Structure 1
Amino acid sequence: MAEDCGIPGSLLKVERQTLYEVDGVPMMRRFFEYNEKIRNFEAKPDDVLIIYVARNAKDVLVSYYFFHKLNLRMPETGSWEEFFESYLSGKVAWGSWFDHVTTWWDIRQRQQVLYIFYEDIVQDPQRVIERVSPFLGRTFGRTVIDEIMKHTAFSNMKDNPMTNFSNLPWFNLKVSPFMRKGKVGDWKNHFTVAQNERFEKEYQRRMAKTSLRFTDDL
């Protein structure tokens, strides 16, 4: 029966997880169980370089919905309409998109954080590479940059088992590939007019006090 529904037999023993709250943020079980160790981890600031990649909220919603659908270790999504509401209210794994992107934006100058945008990677990958390399203390020549651009091109990553996660037994790729489209603006194929209006209203409210700006169409 499950095979007929598109679920391979190897996936039948994988159980969808429930979420646990950690300081008001919904977390997966493993993060909940190891929360104390994570909190007590100490690293010297000079030893840690963080590259934070942010993506516009609407495309993240769509991507996250399909990620939940294909990843049988993630909580159930419910319908698109239900997941839309859960995402907008921050009641999804790892919490609110708004809190996540603005918190990292606010600390980017106090810590060694390079804040880059997914949309910039799509539009001008070479420019992003040229920002990343000095941050890592490296200098890349033209040949190396070309190789990086080749191997990180979405079409190549989609065909690469090391990046498309086709070898993970709990990913049901019959539902959706892990590397779906990689485009900016795919949200327009999923949001209704009413959902977009509702989203925009909440977005403007939550982002009113930050200088952080995103592009949701190219």
Structure 2
Amino acid sequence: MELPPRPKLFDFHGVSMTNYFTDNWDNVQNFQARPDDILIATYPKAGTTWVSYILDLLYFGQTTHEHQRPIFEKVPFLELLIPLYPPGVEVLDNLTTSPRLIKTHLPVQLLPKSFWEKNCRIDWNNYLQRFMDGKMVFGSWYDHVTGWWERKQTHSKILYLFYEDMVEDTGRELDRLCSFLGLSPSAEEKERVKGGVQFDNMKKNSMANYSTNPVMDFKISPFMRKGKVGDWKNHFTVAQSEQFDEDYKKKMENTQLRFRTTI
């Protein structure tokens, strides 16, 4: 099957985007959230699938029929509109599970208003230069993570999760997530979830690793990479590492938000 061409970036309301995430914009903005919806809001490649799978196992892990569907079907991508698939909004409108688990990479200022109105719960990773300049799809990483962090300070139903914390102590972060959601799984259920969401298990699981998605070309790269904290820095030269550290220090100096690159 011939894959669709890689789309071009363009400025969209001050954020770098592609047409895959803007062509259905009116319907995205008019999307009607429900009070029990759970929104997984992340920057791309920042643990989105991990949190999605944790939530899926917590809510639907015992449902045999649901367990046999890939994660990208069970946790629809709100703003996505690509060939071969129905729009994310349409999939969500037809979703029969409750609560609905919803994936988005939108920065906080572009999120449909209904999520705030319904007070939904929200869970919150030449290339180097483009990254620092924010010339990536969904815009600047700095703006994305600080935007959601700042909104968290005034919105009680946002839980901010850090990938590094989840790797360091998955059980502890699972307890935080359950507390936030008002769930009380048994010790046996929590162990089942912890085992299922270990990186190596997820990478081998066709229901979690996107290998059944025809849009993904695994001949180029698997969707799930190494799952190692700070591994991205191993691809930097010394000069690039110093350049990024200086950029990070400058752009994050006015926020209390802090990230770790080691555990």
> TM-score by structure 1 length?
0.77
> What does the per-residue CA deviation read over 1:106-159, in whole Å, with 9 as the maximum and x for residues that have no partner?
111322100010011111000011001121111122101100101100010000
Q: Is the 8 A contact 2:43 2:141 kept in 1?
A: no
User: What SS does the corresponding residue of 2:161 show, helix, strand or coil?
Assistant: strand
Please state how far the C-alpha of 1:49 moved relative to its aligned partner.
Answer: 4.3
Alignment correspondent of 1:191? 236
Q: Deviation digits for residues 50-72 of structure 1, max 9, x if unmatched? A: 45567999x9xxxxxxxxxxxxx
Q: Distance in 2 between matches of 1:188 and 1:43?
A: 38
Q: Aligned match of 1:155 in 185, 200, 222?
A: 200
Unaligned runs of 5+ in 2: 48-81, 83-125
- Aligned counterpart, 1:84: 128
For the aligned residue pairs, the C-alpha RMSD in angstroms reads 2.4
Mapped partners of 1:186, 1:138: distance in 2: 33
Instruction: Tell me what 1:21 maps to.
Output: 11
Residues paired across the two proteins, number = 185
Aligned match of 1:122 in 152, 160, 167? 167
For the residue of structure 2 that corresponds to 1:163, the secondary structure is coil
Q: Check whether the contact 2:43–2:138 (CA below 8 A) recurs between aligned residues.
A: no
Partner of 2:171, secondary structure, is helix
Distance 1:109 1:50 in 2: 17
Paired residue for 1:165, among 210, 217, 221?
210
Q: Which has the higher helix share?
A: 1
- 1:12-161 correspondence to structure 2 within 5 Å: 12-41=2-31, 43=33, 46-52=35-41, 82-111=126-155, 112-161=157-206
Specify which structure has the bigger relative contact order, considering alpha-carbon pairs within 8 angstroms and separated by 6 or more residues: 1
Q: TM-score, normalised by structure 2?
A: 0.64
CA contact under 8 A between 1:98 and 1:206: conserved in structure 2? yes
Percent identity between the two aligned chains = 41
Cα distance in structure 2, aligned partners of 1:109 and 1:172: 39
Q: Secondary structure at the match of 1:15?
A: coil
2:260 aligned partner, one-letter code: T
CA distance in 2, matches of 1:98, 1:181: 23
Larger radius of gyration: 1
2:8·2:18 contact (CA, 8 Å) conserved in 1? yes
